[in-house]
Structure 1
């Protein structure tokens, strides 16, 4: 039961932060994509870093709270897909291609960099 509570607490906090970042970007730029990109890239790097650390019984609770919970609540694949669908529906092909490919490539590179950094910490 403790694992479920850790994931729920972390997930709620991550979702609240994502919402706050989205609202801030919408207020400043009028569109949400930059906020979505920011939370996904930061979250991807952080999850890569966390996964690069050795899993021990001592840090299992932290991984549930931070990785599964907080970062799972912070990042959002479904929002990226919905935003891409909106761009495609509006026939904004280049923006959709740039946003989709840019998100994927940058997230992949940041996940790998985070993982490598996590592995280096304990070498």
Structure 2
């Protein structure tokens, strides 16, 4: 029987449960800290007179950039660690960035501004992840990936 065919309803050993709770605890702590950081940045960069949500845009773009950097380090530079990705990637950056707030803010903007905000959030977020990964690869002297053909 492969691990994928295992009985999912069978009780896990206590050791496996404690490891799962440890990971969940790290995600929770990281998420709490990331949410506090998001609140502080949002408070420091309020929506201007136009109502454009600059704070949320800055939070999401910087979060995407840091996630790009983090994934290069976690997956290719640092030795494997059990709690780094759950704490920083899922927890902290998950609490820091906020897709749900973008959706709420879009409903409060005029149609033209909402489309601009949605497009800017998507484009800037993708560009920030790419920039973060590229800068991390250059900083660590890893080859910068251009396309899938080069890796094969």
* Contact preservation (8 Å) 1:6, 1:69: yes
**Distance across 2 between alignment mates of 1:19 and 1:49:** 22
| Larger RCO (CA under 8 A, 6+ residues apart) | 1
Matched, 1:36 2:49: no
5+ residue gaps in structure 1? Answer: none
Q: Does 1:110 align with 2:133?
A: no
Aligned partners of 2:65 and 2:132 also within 8 Å: yes
Q: Is the contact between residue 53 and residue 122 of structure 1 (CA under 8 Å) also seen in structure 2?
A: no
The RMSD of aligned alpha carbons is 1.9
Residue of structure 2 equivalent to 1:57: 80
Structure ID, larger Rg: 2
Q: Does 1:20 align with 2:43?
A: no
Question: Using a 3 Å threshold, how does the CA distance of structure 1 residues 43 and 33 change in structure 2: closer, same or farther?
Answer: same
Pairs within 5 Å for 1:43-122 = 43-55=63-75, 56-58=79-81, 60-87=82-109, 92-120=110-138, 121=140
- Structure 1 SS opposite 2:91: helix
How high is the TM-score relative to the length of structure 2? 0.69
Higher helix share: 1
- Which stretches in structure 2 are left out of the alignment for 5+ residues? 1-20, 143-152
Per the normalisation by structure 1, the TM-score is 0.83
Aligned length: 117
